[in-house]
């Protein structure tokens, strides 16, 4: 598996990472966001949506209680939060895999336990608080392609690569 470690000491760095990743995203991609509460998952999703063309004055709330928010930007994006879900059946019932197969970009907080139900072949973004760091891991050919694109196009993001 391919991995990138990024020192993520500020919100500006998180926004820059989203801006660098956004042009590489395509219909059907999957980003799975993990990490402690308050580590920056929803902030990253918001920054990514802005980088994909959402107007800055549009609110991007956490989907913790609604489970999924949809956005029509450069790509059709489903921003989901699976924190409250307990089973694979609950995730399947949401129909996210089908929506992904129809071309939606999935940005899923707390989705790691349900990777199979989301279709795998993803980039996993693990947000750490101490020290503040973001670890991106590719799973599958498309995930590997996304990280390769990120490696080639980063400028001033302070990336350190492993793997």
Query: What is the rounded distance in angstroms from the CA atom of residue 16 to the CA atom of residue 31?
Result: 16
pLDDT of residue 28: 98
**In CATH, what number does 3-154 get?**
3.40.50.300
List, for residues 91-141, the tens digit of each pLDDT value: 999 999 999 999 999 999 999 999 999 998 999 999 998 888 899 999 999
Going by C-alpha positions, the residue among 159, 115, 119 that lies closest to residue 20 is 159
For the residues 147-151, what does the mean pLDDT come to?
86
Residue ranges covered by each domain of the chain: 3-154
CB–CB of 119/32 below 8 Å? no
pLDDT of residue 2: 87
Is the pLDDT at 5 greater than 50? The verdict is: yes
pLDDT of residue 114: 96
Beta strands in the chain (DSSP E): 3-7, 30-35, 68-72, 76-81, 105-109, 122-128, 133-139, 159-162
Is the pLDDT at 163 greater than 50? The verdict is: no
pLDDT of residue 130: 83
pTM of the predicted model as reported, rounded to 2 decimal places: 0.93
Mean pLDDT in the chain? 90
């Amino acid at each position: 598996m391919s991995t990138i470690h990024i020192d993520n000491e500020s919100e500006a760095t998180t926004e820059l990472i989203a801006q660098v990743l956004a042009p590489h995203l395509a219909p059907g991609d999957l980003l799975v966001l993990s990490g402690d509460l308050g580590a920056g998952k929803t902030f990253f999703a918001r920054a990514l949506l802005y980088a994909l063309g959402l107007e800055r004055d549009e609110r991007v709330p956490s989907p913790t209680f609604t489970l999924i928010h949809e956005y029509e930007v450069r790509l059709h994006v489903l921003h989901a939060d699976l924190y409250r879900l307990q089973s694979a059946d609950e995730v399947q019932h949401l129909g996210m895999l089908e929506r992904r197969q129809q071309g939606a970009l999935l940005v899923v907080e707390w989705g790691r336990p349900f990777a199979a139900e989301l279709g795998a072949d993803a980039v996993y973004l693990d947000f750490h608080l101490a020290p503040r760091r973001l670890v991106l891991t590719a799973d599958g050919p498309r995930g590997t392609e996304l990280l390769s694109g990120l490696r080639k196009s980063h400028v001033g993001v302070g990336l350190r690569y492993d793997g």
